[in-house]
Structure 1
Amino acid sequence: MGKLLTEMLKGTLEGIILTILSDGAAYGYEITARLREQGFPDIAEGTVYALLIRVEQRGFVDVQKIPSEKGPPRKMHTLTDQGRSYIEEFWRTWSFLSERLDQLREGGERWPKPKNAASSEN
């Protein structure tokens, strides 16, 4: 699954991370740890941090710097109303796609066959 999983995650990781933040504020390392707990062991922290910058720029999260006992302050990410709206749309879209893919996997007879397709009965 390696490369295919990576490619598919590129399109969904933003929604997954925002969903994690819907449970409460978190910083990058916590989000990465949650992803690993959920069965995504190969997601690099750098990927998560880059995505957090992007969702902040899009207005989906607010960032507050919290003093840390060790090192620089931590950036706590909190979901905004705009981010919550995005998550709702993300999961509606996911459900739509998931249903269609399940139908396709369960039997292509629900889908019209192309008119120019060669017959497999030859």
Structure 2
Amino acid sequence: MSRRDEPPDPGTRLIDYPWVVIRFRCHFCERGGNSRLAACVAQFGRFATLDRLLHAFMSGCPHDPYDQSRSPPQKYGRKCGAYLPDLNSGRPPDHPPSMTGLSLIEGGKADMLPAEPAPVERRRRVGDADV
């Protein structure tokens, strides 16, 4: 099995990255974006890891933990929440959902809802005569 058949992890090199789009997101702020694999290879080189790209994405954050010009992070201070949502995922980010194929759902005809409502059973009152 080659490295391109496995889901990507932080140590995956760009040359082994299996998809065309690399997505970046942040848990805390609105920062995020998509980058083409070819553009990342042109800027960082084909042997750069996804972890290095994530550090480059964090460098624009005011809460960057690797920025030496800031004061050291405080115990309960905010840290950068940057992440790559497609790490350890088997589904490509640039694949339309309609192309993922059909999925089998457990159950069958007995689990379906009835097409017509069932007849309502009326309860009789105590002391009513048989009708």
Normalising TM by the smaller chain, what interval?
A: under 0.3
Higher relative contact order (CA 8 A, sep 6+): 2
Bigger share in helix: 1
Taking structure 2 as the reference length, what is the TM-score of the superposition?
0.22
Taking structure 1 as the reference length, what is the TM-score of the superposition?
0.23
Q: Which has the larger radius of gyration?
A: 2
